[in-house]
Amino acid sequence: MKYISPSILASDMLNLGKEIEKVEKSGAKMVHIDIMDGSFVPNISFGMPVISAVRKCTDLILDVHAMIVSPNKYIEEFIKCGADIVTFHLEALDDKTTVESINLVKSLGKKVGISIKPKTPASAVLPYVEMIDMVLVMTVEPGFGGQKFMHETMPKVKEIREYANSIGKDLDIEVDGGINDETIKIASDAGANVFVLGTAFFKSEKPLSANEIIAKTN
- Residues with catalytic function: 34, 176
Q: How far apart are CA 32 and CA 55, in angstroms?
A: 12
Interface with Zn ion, residue 174, by CB under 5 A: no
The partner in contact with residue 146, picked from Zn ion, ligand DX5, none with C-beta cut-offs of 5 to 8 angstroms by kind, is ligand DX5
Distance CA 38, CA 13 (A): 19
Residue 139: is it exposed, middle or buried by C-beta count within 10 angstroms (0-12/13-18/19+)? buried
Length of the chain: 218
Interface with Zn ion (CB under 5 A), residue from 6, 19, 20, 34: 34
- Residue 37 Cβ vs Zn ion, minimum distance, rounded to whole Å: 13
**Residue whose C-alpha is closest to residue 138's, from 123, 152, 128:** 152
Binding status of residue 145 toward ligand DX5 by CB under 6 A: yes
Per-residue interface string for the shown chain with ligand DX5, residues 62-91, x marking contact by CB under 6 A: ---x--------------------------
> How many Å apart are CA 154 and CA 86, to the nearest integer?
23
Among 47, 71, 177, 191, binds ligand DX5 (CB under 6 A): 177
199 part of the interface to ligand DX5, by CB under 6 A: yes
The residues near 109 (Cβ < 8 Å, ≥ 6 apart) are none
Provide the binding-site residues for ligand DX5, judged by CB under 6 A: 7, 9-10, 32, 34, 65, 140, 142-143, 145-147, 176-179, 196-200
